[in-house]
Amino acid sequence: MTHTTQHVVLPTSRFVNGTELTAGLAEAAEFGALAERYRRELHVHCYRMLGSFDEAEDLLQETFFRGWRARGTFQGHASPRAWMYRIATNACLDFLRLRRNPRKAHVKRGGDGAEFVEMTWIQPYPDALLDEVGPSEGEPDAVVIKRESIELAFLAAIQLLPPRQRAVLLLCDVLDWSAAEVAAWLETSVASINSAPQRARATLKRERAARPSAPTDEQHALLRKYIEATDRADIEAFVALLHEDVHNTMPPEPEFIYGHAAMRQALQEAFDTQNFGQFRCVETWANRQPTAACYLRKPGESEFRAFALDVLRVEQGKVVEVTSFINGAAFAAFGLPSVL
């Protein structure tokens, strides 16, 4: 991706029906248009840095606040996107540095020794909002949210990096900013940017090569089967969709399930309509991954209420990972009702 320089000049005055507006009102209107222009892609950037949809919203507002305060320092010497990304990145780094209780990602091993990363704080990102980011006729170089750079496995992996290294990887390898630009933003040397973790870069390159850029027919079909098996409380049909080394995490709960035997045992409890309840699922997509929005009607109740978002990672026709976000409040961001 090549970033072309676009100049924004904040006006000192504007005229409407012959009446001059104050410089402050004109600046506010100009800055508001600029902020709205980059709102979604900056939100995604903050989300990648933090792994949290809600915290990304807070940091986006902090970015706009800092941008408004520092508007006098922007003279059009860089693109407005570059200026906003610099502010957003440093706001995230300040937030991570000052956090009272730093969050940690835990690496766990499955029965075959395979490693995966568990983060109890991670939140899903609706595909419908990711679709708001993309090139337009006026900005053909605008960022594109590629699948491999937003999947939960990638987000989990980069959370293991120190914040500054994470920022470098995202800015240079995902967003294609130059080492010189990023060095200036982070007030460091180009050499230090170029020496960012090679292992992480190799992992990202491998993921890019391995993943299709768009959802496949196979993924759509598997998601439908997943939903049908859940709605019918059909344990065997459900397990048939899973890889034998499947693992299931349940943010924010610090628990995980590994393998067919453990999944069968968990499903016997979850699909017990007499004691646990009955499920109804709706198809959606999160982080460019097939997702089942699961509603639960508990025994004695008449309504299905938002319960969990099951985000599926599919490889070679099988579900290898299920991340169950047990948080009914998250449904609103996906445009889903709280009750069926």
Stretch among 97-101, 104-108, 206-210 having the lowest mean pLDDT: 206-210
pLDDT band at 319 (very low <50, low <70, confident <90, very high): very high
Rounded CA separation 225/222 (Å): 5
Decide which of 3.10.450.50, 3.10.20.30, 3.40.50.150, 3.10.450.30 is the CATH code for 217-334.
Answer: 3.10.450.50
Rounded CA separation 190/174 (Å): 17
Residues 80, 81, 82: CA angle, nearest 5 degrees: 90
Task: Give the mean model confidence (pLDDT) for residues 70-79.
Answer: 74
pLDDT band at 28 (very low <50, low <70, confident <90, very high): confident
Residues 309, 314, 320: CA angle, nearest 5 degrees: 85
The per-residue pLDDT of the chain, averaged, comes to: 84
Classified as helix, coil or strand, 182 is helix
Segment of 124-138, 254-268, 277-291 carrying the highest mean pLDDT: 277-291
Rounded CA separation 128/152 (Å): 16
Assess whether pLDDT exceeds 90 at residue 61: yes
pLDDT band at 33 (very low <50, low <70, confident <90, very high): confident
Sequence-distant (≥ 6) Cβ neighbours of residue 79 within 8 angstroms: 3, 4, 5, 6, 7
Segment of 136-140, 145-149, 152-156 carrying the highest mean pLDDT: 152-156
Assess whether pLDDT exceeds 60 at residue 298: yes
CA distances for 68 relative to 6, 14, 42, 76, 92, angstroms: 18, 19, 15, 15, 17
pLDDT score at 216 = 82
Please classify residue 137 by burial: count the beta carbons closer than 10 Å to its beta carbon, then call 0-12 exposed, 13-18 middle and 19+ buried. exposed
Assess whether pLDDT exceeds 90 at residue 3: no
Contact indicator for 216, 147 with CB cutoff of 8 Å: no
Assess whether pLDDT exceeds 90 at residue 27: no
pLDDT score at 17 = 44
Contact indicator for 50, 96 with CB cutoff of 8 Å: yes
Task: Give the mean model confidence (pLDDT) for residues 114-123.
Answer: 71
Alpha helices in the chain (DSSP H): 23-50, 53-69, 80-98, 127-130, 152-158, 163-168, 179-186, 190-194, 198-210, 217-232, 235-239, 259-270
Rounded CA separation 94/187 (Å): 14
User: For residue 102, what is the DSSP state?
Assistant: -
Assess whether pLDDT exceeds 80 at residue 66: yes
pLDDT band at 21 (very low <50, low <70, confident <90, very high): very low
pLDDT tens sequence across 168-204 = 999 998 898 999 999 999 999 998 888 876 766 765 6
pLDDT tens sequence across 281-297 = 999 999 999 999 999 99
pLDDT score at 2 = 40
pLDDT band at 255 (very low <50, low <70, confident <90, very high): confident
Contact indicator for 161, 21 with CB cutoff of 8 Å: no
pTM for the full model?
A: 0.84
Q: Where are the domains of the chain?
A: 1-100, 217-334
Taking CB atoms within 8 Å and a gap of at least 24, the contacts of 243-247 are 243/315, 243/318, 243/319, 243/320, 245/110, 245/111, 245/112, 245/114, 245/320, 246/318, 246/319, 246/320, 246/321, 246/322, 247/110, 247/116, 247/320, 247/321, 247/322
pLDDT tens sequence across 217-235 = 889 999 999 999 999 999 9
CATH 1.20.58.100 at 1-100, yes or no: no
Task: Give the mean model confidence (pLDDT) for residues 81-108.
Answer: 84
